């Protein structure tokens, strides 16, 4: 490829690329350009073949000239903010972090700033842009009051490949949770479709009309008087999936006021245990492990986010009431 100046593209099609689609050719030739973005930019006239506008699907012939201009990324309308981040890994293509409880992932009504996206705009000056805009590529989300490991893409190609991996279930996601009640058995499966709650539109619900398949595997890692500690491996990524599944099974997550309540804690006979549980201020749910294939290098990636201080302290306090402990990693996973 020859470039007269930054952003200008000029390339003669070699015999190696004879018969290749234009959009595929561009995505392979320009690191920051994914195939979907190439399609959009060809349709918008940013790239020409022998000086003429063509369809993204046109088959190239050896000797043809592909010319164009790589459009500048639009600046993000969001403000960059210097917020504390717990980075587990970072390279030119992606970033893996341990999200703190209380941090919203993306600006939304009621949360215009102070979010993970605002923090990443400040932390990552090398963002390549997503969808033509300078912004981090949010691949998956964690609820505001759920802590743990997340992966974020730095450019379009990385974002599209990671999204595809999550969609095709080629990642492994494990969560830790402390739930009310004592589950029967040591492991099992929560298999109930999840959809929007028919009355409360801010909530999700199991087994509702139009719900989508949702599958959560669980394994007991600890038992307490009236409580169970779980390791959950989710095979789908529905909104509030673990919280909905646990509530539907009759074992809501401790501290989850949306899908449970504080009332189970009020029934605890031991006054010290009851007092500790009633002080819990958020759902005891943490994204502990994440495994995936690097979207650019193909390397196997595996990350662990240690339990946050509030969960660690609660479990330590509850240890006198522990009746069984199996270790952090459970049995079947």
8-69 sits in which CATH class?
alpha beta
> Of the candidates 163, 167, 126, 135, which has an alpha carbon nearest to the alpha carbon of residue 35?
163
Is 18 tagged catalytic? no
The 10s digit of each residue's pLDDT in 34-93 is 788 889 889 999 999 999 999 999 999 999 999 998 777 778 888 899 999 999 999 999
- Interior/surface letters 118-137, b for 16+ CB within 10 angstroms, e for the rest: bbbbebbeebbbbeeebbbb
Give residue-wise pLDDT tens across range 167-178. 999 999 999 999
Do 8-69 and 87-167 have matching folds?
Answer: no
Q: What is the chain's length?
A: 333
**0.95 surpassed by pTM:** no
Task: For residue range 96-112, list pLDDT tens digits in order.
Answer: 999 999 999 988 888 88
- 321-to-121, 226, 268, 329 alpha-carbon distances in Å: 45, 9, 12, 20
What are the sequence ranges of the domains in the chain?
A: 8-69, 87-167, 172-325
Query: Percent of the chain scored above 90 by pLDDT?
Result: 69
Looking at residue 156, its pLDDT comes to: 83
CATH fold for the domain made of 87-167: Pseudouridine synthase (3.30.2350)
Q: What is the CATH number of domain 172-325?
A: 3.30.2350.10
Q: Where residue 329 falls among pLDDT bands split at 50, 70, 90?
A: low
Question: Per the residue annotation, which of 143, 186, 191, 200 is the catalytic one?
Answer: 143
Higher pLDDT among residues 263 and 245, named by residue: 245
pLDDT (0 to 100) of residue 257: 92
């Amino acid at each position: 490829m020859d470039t007269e100046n930054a952003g200008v593209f000029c390339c003669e099609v070699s015999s190696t690329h004879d018969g290749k689609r234009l959009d595929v050719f561009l995505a392979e030739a320009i690191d920051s350009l994914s195939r979907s973005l190439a399609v959009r930019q060809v349709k918008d006239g940013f790239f020409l073949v022998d000086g003429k506008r063509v369809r993204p699907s046109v088959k190239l012939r050896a000797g043809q000239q592909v010319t164009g201009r790589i459009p500048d990324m639009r600046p993000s309308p969001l403000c960059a903010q210097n917020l504390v981040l717990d980075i587990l890994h970072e390279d030119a293509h992606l970033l893996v972090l341990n999200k703190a409880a209380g941090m919203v992932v993306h600006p939304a009504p009621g949360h215009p700033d102070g979010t993970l996206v605002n923090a990443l705009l400040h932390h990552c000056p090398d963002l390549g842009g997503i969808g033509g805009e300078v912004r981090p590529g949010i691949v998956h989300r964690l609820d505001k009051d759920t802590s743990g490991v997340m992966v974020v893409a730095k450019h379009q190609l990385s974002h599209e490949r990671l999204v595809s991996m999550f969609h095709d279930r080629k990642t492994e996601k494990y969560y830790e949770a402390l739930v009310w009640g004592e589950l029967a058995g040591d492991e099992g499966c929560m298999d109930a479709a999840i959809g929007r709650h028919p009355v409360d539109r801010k909530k999700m619900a199991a087994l509702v009309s139009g719900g989508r398949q949702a599958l959560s595997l669980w394994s007991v890692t600890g038992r307490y008087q009236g409580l169970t500690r779980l390791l959950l491996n989710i095979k789908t990524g529905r909104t509030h999936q673990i919280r909905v599944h646990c509530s539907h099974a009759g074992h809501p997550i401790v501290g989850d006021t949306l899908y449970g309540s504080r009332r189970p804690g009020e029934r605890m006979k031991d006054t010290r245990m009851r007092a500790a549980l009633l002080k819990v201020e958020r759902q005891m749910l943490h994204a502990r492990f994440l495994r995936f294939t690097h979207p650019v290098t193909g390397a196997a990636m595996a990350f662990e986010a240690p339990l946050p201080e509030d969960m660690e302290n609660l479990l330590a306090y509850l240890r006198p009431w522990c009746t069984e402990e199996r270790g952090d990693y459970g049995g079947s996973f």
